[in-house]
Structure 1
């Protein structure tokens, strides 16, 4: 029993390492592409680890655990490298180029060799996941034989300035290139690099600069002085930790959300860029005019350089100033202009409604949320306008209200806003998922239905499938699928279908008890849910637990009937499910069952007249049945000869 526990802990440790790797944020250094590639490949291993952990045979033998141990060590090595690549000093990363390249090659080789030792035939994983892991294995094998050298010019420039003792001797053109390529153009970036340099330790990737830390700090100072010379208004970053106690600022601490990420000063004229981040107008305009077309905070490319006033944030800043005895920031005259994406009349209405959402009066909140819900439904322009004005966080805060109408209006407004592709990311990044799931569990039936539809809309983005699946949404969707109205069942089914496209969510759906509900919907006279039920079953049948649950639900006769009499799409899905059922340990038993139910003639018709996918599935299943019959015949001949 102790060995089983230890082996189970091995899988949990690998999952923890892989989860941390996938959660690591941006890489803003010369090794960005290599680091992103490494993180992406490791992310593709997560479904295998989840299936091992969630597999039917949860006990892992000592021999199998021994084969997985090198993978755990490789994931831990990759985690350390990616941690340093994410938060380490950019200057150190470039100057320690040879060590970094060696680390990349060591980690890649370690992962390739660990994957080579995995005994797939002894693990309870699906064919799809095994194919995915083998593809990753092949990628690591190619990668270990190829070393991508980072920017040679950057390395040469940095080395030349690093070796200059006279601070005035550095070539301004070189400093300009270094500031741009290292992304050290703002006070925020310079401060972060300074902190990273002073926090370098051996554990951070094993790249300790030792006595060279002072020279690296001097190099950073040269870049900082140059950048400040180019932009005198940027100011000098001051670390409050180094101020004597009697020099501490007496003014109240400004909340981080009220500071511009570029200047770190209280915003007077906050504006929203295309990525959804907010900056001081003057700072971001200078950033764009200097030739930068990325978001300074996220480094994403700006799809548009349009700046949208953040009226709600400006109002909150003003209220905070008044509460702390400070004069509110002076508002530039141009802010009186309406949002470019809204007609003037709609612009005024949106700003007024968002202010009402902040009211302590429930009736104000109820009516404002209801009107925003209708406005968001009315047009694409309104959806952009409402989101850009800062309504999303305020609507999210209403999801936990006890008032059922406020809750319903808020979740439906978010549903309507999510129709706009750009808003999907904003809604999730603002932390909406837990609130939507809360409504899905506790709200009125209409609220629950709209919450399910919202989750479906948001899960169109692949990254959101993981976030939603981890939020506890799947059991709540399974409950709605079972007990909801006809519309509620449809909403729940579409959301479950989309979420279960992600391999890691399939086991969650099976454990939530969705299979018996789907089988009931499949056989319910006049239920109108056959299409949805079959589509979800087809996805879940590729999961080992899903396949077992479908088999236990005595689905084979129902599937055979649908192959003969269903719609073209339903026939192909039924054949796909049956193909999965007729594989693995119970293959012989299942093949005997389907052959006895007269499926052959139905499959032959599907192979000739079905959809392209239906033809492929039918042909594969017929091939298995024919081989099974041949084996049966051979066994009879041998038995008679004896």
Structure 2
């Protein structure tokens, strides 16, 4: 028993000694070799690259330096002969070895970075896409587009490189060329091109011009109606970017059978929040276009878009709320849209509730819609103005003028107050909770 007791005592002493040694080691400051540090960030380099001046930097740091418009070496101030840094594999392997040796200090081995695509490689790849498109070789083109997608997904740097070398224009031209051929045979390639383009949004003018052709729009509408979830999502993202241009794209899309219905279906049967927002933006470009007329608005109204938008406003987050209000504001610029809004019991309560509650933009849009409804009201009794007073619009508009808003919104709010004041003898109801989080200027 005495022997076992001595063993336990010696074991405890050994443990205490080891703990003290570990603590002293952990308290030691680990010095990183100076040639392993980036001269810009002074941190351990994860992807060392060497410039034409012979100085090595971490890729992320030196690329930020160049993106700021600098074309000189930060250390030597010499003008760089080329802005393409060369990977320094020797230094990188030394850093990785040092990390392994100091693993006990909590240093993790840096992974071997992928070499980003160069401008020359991007140009070569896009040239092959153009050649395959001219030959009509969809299989080779499909393979090249898939490779572009992989590179763009790999890093933000690759994405910038591909975009700066005109990838959006090349892919859009390929989409237009193959959309003119047999659609059934090329649908897989066309969906792949749309998928690649969504990774490089926003599109440039050249890309929008190509994708806005009637053949391209017909293909995208088909994908919206019959494609899988991923294809429909990509199509509406690209379509939303195309419609932001004020040109013939509006007429081309409106004339395509099922085009407007496919967009409304994405709002009615949402795939994901981002897709719903893209669909709303595309719809907004249509209803607010100078080319929009009563016939287009009537088609949206017949599809039940006004009812959908009002139901969405009951409970939705800020970004979605702003887009829904923007579309509703565009629709209420026409008689057909206003009449449909008049007949919905949700219209005035939800619009008044959004004032001073969501955002400045939501407030301005809500006031604009109420102003349009009241300005063009044709009913003498029990109309929009009376209902607006009953749900507390008068108090909210007064408070809006006190808190402050844009000059345009101020003018509409002032005009509304004059109209509402004539009906104030009616019963007024207001939810004081609407003002609980309001920031007062005093």
Q: What TM-score bracket applies, with the shorter chain setting the length?
A: 0.5 to 0.7
* Deviation sequence 1:255-312 (CA, Å, 0-9, x none): xxxxxxxxxxxxxxxxxxxxxxxxxxxxxxxxxxxxxxxxxxxxxxxxxxxxxxxxxx
TM-score, normalised on structure 2?
0.58
Asked if the contact 1:392–1:430 (Cα under 8 Å) also holds between the matched residues in 2, the reply is no
Residue of structure 1 equivalent to 2:370: 578
Deviation at 1:390, TM superposition (A): 5.0
Q: 8 Å contact 2:224–2:263 — kept in the other structure?
A: yes
How is 1:97-496 mapped onto 2 (pairs within 5 angstroms)? Answer: 343-356=119-132, 364-373=140-149, 378=160, 379-383=162-166, 386-387=169-170, 391-397=174-180, 400-401=183-184, 405-415=188-198, 416=200, 419-429=203-213, 431-463=215-247, 464-471=249-256, 472-484=258-270, 485-496=272-283
CA distance in 1, matches of 2:124, 2:420: 69
Deviation of 1:373 (Å): 4.8
Following TM superposition, by how much is the alpha carbon of 1:572 offset from its aligned partner in structure 2, in angstroms? 1.6
Q: What's the offset of the Cα at 1:418?
A: 6.6
Aligned residues of 2:329 and 2:368 also touching (Cα < 8 A)? yes
Find the residue that maps to 2:212 and give its secondary structure. helix
Q: 1:541 maps to which residue? A: 332
Distance 2:262 2:168 in 1: 32
Q: Deviation of residue 526 (structure 1)?
A: 5.4
User: Is 2:384 the counterpart of 1:608?
Assistant: no
The reply to whether residue 512 of structure 1 matches residue 303 of structure 2 is yes
Is the 1:564–1:571 contact (alpha carbons within 8 Å) kept by the matching residues of 2? yes
The structural deviation recorded for 1:417 is 7.6
Per the TM alignment, residue 359 of structure 1 is displaced from its structure 2 partner at its CA by 7.6
Q: Is the 8 A contact 1:559 1:574 kept in 2?
A: yes
Q: Distance in 2 between matches of 1:385 and 1:523?
A: 39
Deviation at 1:419, TM superposition (A): 0.9
Calculate the aligned-residue CA RMSD, in Å: 3.3
Which runs of structure 1 show a deviation greater than 6 angstroms over 4 or more consecutive aligned residues?
A: 358-362
SS in 1 for 2:166: helix
Determine if contact 2:288/2:330 at 8 Å carries over to the other structure.
Answer: yes
**Alignment partners' CA distance in 2, 1:372 and 1:469:** 32
Question: For residues 398 and 553 of structure 1, do their structure 2 counterparts lie closer, same or farther at Cα, with a shift above 3 Å needed?
Answer: farther
Indicate if the aligned counterparts of 1:518 and 1:537 stay in contact, CA closer than 8 A. yes
Q: Could you say what secondary structure the match of 1:565 adopts?
A: coil
Gaps of 5+ in 1: 1-341, 632-642
Deviations, residues 450-496 of structure 1 (Å, cap 9, x unaligned): 21121221112212233323334222111001112212101101111
TM-score by length of 1: 0.41
Q: CA deviation at 1:356?
A: 4.1
1:591 is matched with: 385
Equivalent pairs, count: 290
Does 347-356 or 596-605 show the bigger shift?
347-356
The Cα shift of 1:422 comes to 2.6
